[in-house]
């Protein structure tokens, strides 16, 4: 076994540490041989006595730095230097001593475990390593123990696995734990070296707590004027859990205000926000009671045995009175009146009352911006609307006015209501021509020939539609020139009664036509049709017209006379174009002849 030597590490003596001795059978002890050492550390770490072959270590060894050295030895003749033995290799192995304590991979570990975990639940594993030789003795055999953290946690001595040691640990009671783990070599025996590490353990939350209202009854108030969606107030059920386990949903489960209010969850604050669902009225109901439930939005079936995940509370809401303006009996009023009613007639009545408990009286007035022409007035006490001016449906079929109701107290709250007045028609307008007809008759016209179709319009609006009748004025019924044929469809045809007309004899005819309706009272008017005599081709197409004279039938009506005066003005225009008195006399005589 000469080719392996052993040397203890960490030698602390004052003399060089003896390693071993090299010796050759050829050595007679006479000093003729010389021993030579080469290889790892030869001459520096290790020295050899060239005469005796004794090897010494010149420095303290550290196995953890280097566990062995390989060297070569040779014996040679001192005088010639010739080898007497072949060179051979040997090893110096450093024997371990327990000079290293176990060391953990981290000085501090951070981990967590759910609260309420069962006993023995794994938390984490810690490991420590020892630099000593694991193959030599027990210097590197590590065992684990817990120095701090009992009775909540334990550690497996062989594996370093940390486990829970206490049942139902509650995060809400204690959330943070600091555990100190020791690793000791030499199998934990006396004299072994040790190292420690700190493990910070946090209990994570599980949903093991229901929400709880801090009080059984809440008092809230809201003004009766609050709009739909207005916030009445906030209540809150507190949950000892955190995060999503503390999320709460609120709902109204009972009470006489279940249809008047809503409740929702503010996701930021986890409060229950009570809001108005329907318009409130202090005079109808002054208070409401709600039964509100708060329940976790996420349930953990493992902890249902602890009780229900909800709580209830009573919310009392008081409605506060607000000075409200008068309230009309209707949102709007519609009335109908005939256009011939007398001034001073009451056409309708509006009513308004104070909805407040005080029941203040109100006064009525008309917003004059809606009745600039002052057709109406209103009794300030009774609300009766009176006609001030005559109505005319054809001029204004609708009147839209606004009535103001104002409290008589100091607050003078007011409100408005529209009144739509429809003016009903009476038959107070006669039918008439819708336009001026440019009518002519050809000189070569035949008897019975249709020369014009006329119609009529009536400003009145009978419910079943207008029905008009056409006839000649009585004074011209027997004229020899033209006649009227009623088509019974609100039109009439103008026909010739004779054959042939002459422009030289008469260039223009005035034909008064009576148009009447069938409503009550019957209305009629006389409309004069001006008929010019024109030269036409054989197909009846007009070629030229020259108004030289007018045939005026005897016994004309007032309407006909007006038309005749118009014709006179035209003829006078021709007469004035002549500077000769004779020509004027001729025109006058021609006009006189027609009468």
Q: How do the domains of the chain map onto residue ranges?
A: 4-95, 103-204, 217-320, 327-424, 438-544
Q: What is the DSSP string of 474-535?
A: GGGTT-SSEEEEE-SSSEEEEEESSS---TTT-SEEEEEEEEEE-SSS--EEEEEEEEEEEE
Nearest-angstrom CA–CA distance, 386 and 296: 67
Tell me whether the CATH fold assigned to 103-204 matches the one assigned to 327-424. yes
Residue tagged 């005599």 (tokens): 533
Instruction: Look up the CATH number of domain 438-544.
Output: 2.60.40.60
Q: Given phi > 0 = left and psi -120 to 50 = alpha, else beta, which region is 500?
A: left
Using pLDDT thresholds of 50, 70 and 90, give the confidence band for residue 595: very low
Q: Is 300 exposed, middle or buried (0-12, 13-18, 19+ CB in 10 A)?
A: middle
Residue tagged 């390989």 (tokens): 70
Instruction: Tokens for 219, please give them.
Output: 């008092």
pLDDT of residue 558: 42
pLDDT of residue 322: 87
Statement: residue 396 has pLDDT above 80: yes
pLDDT of residue 578: 37
Kindly state the average pLDDT of the residues 553-575.
49
CB atoms within 10 A of CB 510: 21
Kindly state the average pLDDT of the residues 144-156.
95
Would you give the end-to-end CA distance of the chain in angstroms?
176
In the CATH scheme, what architecture does the domain 103-204 have?
A: Sandwich (2.60)
Kindly state the average pLDDT of the residues 239-263.
94
CATH topology of domain 327-424: Immunoglobulin-like (2.60.40)
Q: Is 406 exposed, middle or buried (0-12, 13-18, 19+ CB in 10 A)?
A: buried
pLDDT of residue 427: 83
Specify the pairing of strand 491-496 against strand 482-486.
Answer: antiparallel
* Top CATH class, 217-320: mainly beta
Picking from 503, 514, 337, the residue whose alpha carbon sits closest to that of residue 430 is 514
Report how far apart, in Å, the C-alpha atoms of 427 and of each of 274, 458, 463, 467, 486 are: 63, 9, 11, 12, 22
Helix (H) or strand (E) holding 311: strand 310-320
pLDDT of residue 580: 32
Specify the pairing of strand 376-378 against strand 362-366.
Answer: unpaired
Nearest-angstrom CA–CA distance, 560 and 511: 8
Kindly state the average pLDDT of the residues 554-560.
42
**What are the tens digits of pLDDT across the range 32-85?**
899 889 988 888 888 898 888 888 888 888 877 888 899 998 898 888 889 988
Nearest-angstrom CA–CA distance, 507 and 545: 8
Range in 253-262, 396-405, 462-471, 550-559 the model is least confident about: 550-559
pLDDT of residue 464: 52
Specify the pairing of strand 333-338 against strand 414-424.
Answer: parallel
pLDDT of residue 465: 63
Between 583 and 314, residue with greater pLDDT: 314
Nearest-angstrom CA–CA distance, 294 and 247: 10
Nearest-angstrom CA–CA distance, 48 and 75: 12
pLDDT of residue 564: 54
In the CATH scheme, what architecture does the domain 4-95 have?
A: Sandwich (2.60)
CB atoms within 10 A of CB 134: 15
DSSP-assigned beta bridge partners for residue 249: 295
Picking from 218, 222, 220, the residue whose alpha carbon sits closest to that of residue 281 is 222
Q: Is 567 exposed, middle or buried (0-12, 13-18, 19+ CB in 10 A)?
A: buried
The answer to whether residues 491 and 528 touch, using CB atoms and an 8 Å cutoff, is no
Picking from 487, 505, 489, the residue whose alpha carbon sits closest to that of residue 550 is 505
What is the reported pTM?
Answer: 0.50
**What are the tens digits of pLDDT across the range 402-445?**
999 999 987 789 999 999 999 998 888 889 999 999 999 999 99
């Amino acid at each position: 076994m000469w080719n392996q030597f052993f040397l203890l590490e960490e030698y602390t003596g004052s003399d060089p540490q003896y390693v071993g001795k090299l010796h050759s059978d050829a050595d007679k002890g006479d000093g003729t041989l010389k021993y030579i050492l080469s290889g790892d550390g030869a001459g520096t770490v290790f020295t050899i006595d060239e005469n005796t072959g004794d090897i010494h270590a010149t420095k303290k060894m550290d196995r953890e730095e280097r566990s062995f050295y390989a060297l070569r030895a040779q014996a040679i003749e001192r005088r010639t230097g010739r080898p007497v033995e072949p060179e051979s290799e040997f090893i110096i192995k450093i024997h371990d001593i327990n000079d290293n304590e176990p060391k953990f991979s981290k000085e501090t570990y951070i981990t967590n475990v759910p609260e309420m975990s069962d006993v023995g639940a794994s938390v984490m594993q810690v490991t420590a390593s020892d630099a000593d030789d694991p193959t030599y003795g027990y210097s590197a055999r590590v065992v684990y123990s817990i120095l701090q953290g009992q009775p909540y946690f334990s550690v497996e001595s062989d594996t370093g696995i940390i486990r829970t040691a206490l049942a139902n640990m509650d995060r809400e009671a204690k959330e943070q734990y600091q555990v100190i783990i020791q690793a000791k070599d030499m199998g934990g025996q006396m004299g072994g070296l040790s190292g420690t590490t700190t493990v910070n353990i946090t209990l994570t939350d599980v949903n093991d707590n229901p929400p709880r209202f801090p009080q059984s009854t809440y008092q809230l108030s809201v003004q009766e004027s609050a709009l739909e969606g207005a916030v009445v107030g906030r209540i809150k059920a507190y949950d000892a859990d955190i995060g999503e386990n503390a999320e709460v949903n609120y709902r109204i489960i009972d009470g006489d205000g279940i249809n008047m209010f809503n409740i929702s969850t503010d996701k930021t604050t986890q409060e229950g926000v009570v809001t108005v669902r329907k318009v409130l009225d202090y005079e109808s109901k002054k208070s409401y009671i709600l039964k509100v439930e708060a329940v976790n939005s996420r349930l953990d079936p493992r902890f249902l045995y602890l009780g229900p995940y909800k709580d209830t509370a009573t919310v009392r809401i008081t409605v506060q009175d607000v000075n409200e303006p008068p309230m009309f009996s209707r949102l709007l009023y519609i009335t109908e009146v005939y256009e011939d009613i007398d001034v001073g007639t009451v056409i309708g009545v509006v009513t308004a009352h104070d909805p407040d408990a005080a029941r203040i009286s109100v006064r009525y007035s008309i917003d004059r911006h809606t009745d600039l022409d002052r057709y109406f007035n209103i009794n300030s006490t009774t609300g009766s609307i009176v006609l001030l001016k005559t109505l005319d449906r054809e001029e204004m079929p609708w009147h839209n006015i606004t009535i103001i109701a104002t409290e008589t107290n100091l607050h003078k709250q007011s409100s408005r209501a529209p009144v739509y007045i429809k003016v009903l028609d009476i038959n107070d307008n006669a039918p008439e021509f819708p336009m001026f007809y440019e009518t002519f008759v050809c000189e070569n016209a035949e008897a019975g020939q249709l020369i014009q179709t006329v119609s009529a319009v009536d400003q009145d609006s009978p419910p079943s539609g207008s029905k008009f009748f056409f006839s000649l004025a009585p004074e011209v019924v027997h004229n020899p020139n033209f006649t009227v044929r009623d088509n019974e469809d609100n039109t009439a045809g103008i026909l010739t009664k004779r054959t042939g007309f002459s422009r030289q004899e008469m260039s223009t005819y005035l034909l008064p036509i009576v148009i009447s309706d069938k409503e009550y009272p019957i209305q009629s008017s006389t409309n004069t049709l001006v008929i010019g005599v024109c030269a036409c081709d054989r197909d009846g197409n007009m070629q030229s017209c020259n108004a030289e004279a007018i045939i005026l039938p005897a016994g004309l009506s007032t309407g006909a006379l007006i038309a005749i005066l118009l014709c006179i003005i035209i003829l006078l225009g021709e007469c004035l174009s002549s500077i000769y008195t004779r020509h004027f006399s001729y025109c006058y005589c021609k006009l006189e002849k027609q009468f």
